[in-house]
Amino acid sequence: MPPALPSDNSRPALVLGGGGAAGVMWLFGLTLGLRQTGIDLSLARRIVGTSAGAVLGANLAGGVDLAALLASLPAEPPASSTPSHDPTRPGAAEPIPSSAAGPGPSNAPESTPPSAVEPIRPGATSNPADAQSSPTDSLQLNAAETDPLERRRRIGAQALELDLGDPADHIARMSQLVGITDWPDHDLLITAVDATTGELRTWTRDGKATLPEAIAASSAIPGVFPAIPIDGSHFLDGGLRSPINADLAAGAPLIVILEPFAHVFRRAATDRELAGAPTISITADTPAITAFGSNLFDPAALRPAFEAGLRQAAEASTRLRDVWPASR
């Protein structure tokens, strides 16, 4: 169970979804663009981060200067954009089963969605309905699997059999995208999935994970990055449960959801369990989707993704201006 929202629950919650390296950069651009219009997303009462969203969430909760952070990064993309192997090769990650595909948030299914940061193989389209499974893929799943928990267990068992390098390397890669190393004094929730049990694990400042471990676990795409060992268990991408895990913000007076890859990754049934909270969803528009391309880890897509988020901030601000807390 996630921590209950505090009694002084007057400010909106912010839910940040996954989307690989391109998703991180779109989120960064959108956030910086919104700040230019006077909207400071760090004023959210609760921040829920999944995968790419965990990166932005930690930076927001810690008051990090995103522009300075981006300026400090090396010219070659350091983190999730550069796994130690090719994430688009056959067998690198679980395919999106064609029988489980469909549109995004408007008609979310009752089953576990594909990982919120699964790479799309070369030749795949942005429509999951066109993606085909391959018998050579290393993570083979039953597309008819109806039990979300069992599906996650199956993914976890297969992911744990793969040699994908030292988890410490993934922790170090992801740490370069975050301007703090300690948990901030903020209501920040970072999601991951236990690779053995399939259960959701919500990391907070009161948990067993360090902040770098939590972020690495939340972005440990099965079949691409190694599961992260924490407190005697191993953890994978929080997007295995849901690309946004919005139910962790249930009960907030308003939930603002930023979803860079809503066009690909369907919400889970749990994302409707919001205790009546109204929502505002901001998703990538058509030019942004084009900028992302078909490979979530393509370094060439990072700047276009950032610029797309920056551009979309103008429209997003018109939707948030009257409902978001005034900047201090």
- For 16-40, write each residue's pLDDT tens digit: 999 999 999 999 999 999 999 999 9
The predicted pLDDT at position 145 comes to 56
Mean pLDDT score of the chain: 82
284 close to 81: Cβ distance less than 8 angstroms:
no
Backbone phi, psi, residue 257, to 5°: -115, 125
- pLDDT tens per residue across span 239-293: 999 999 999 999 999 999 999 999 999 999 999 999 999 999 999 999 999 999 9
Angle made by CA atoms 55, 56, 57, in degrees to the nearest 5: 90
The predicted pLDDT at position 107 comes to 32
Radius of gyration of the chain (CA): 18
The predicted pLDDT at position 105 comes to 36
222: nearest Cα among 137, 290, 130: 137
Regions of the chain with pLDDT less than 50:
78-82, 84-138, 140-141, 143
To which H or E segment does residue 291 belong?
Answer: helix 286-292
The predicted pLDDT at position 226 comes to 97
β-bridge partners, 49: 16, 190
pTM of the model: 0.82
The predicted pLDDT at position 90 comes to 31
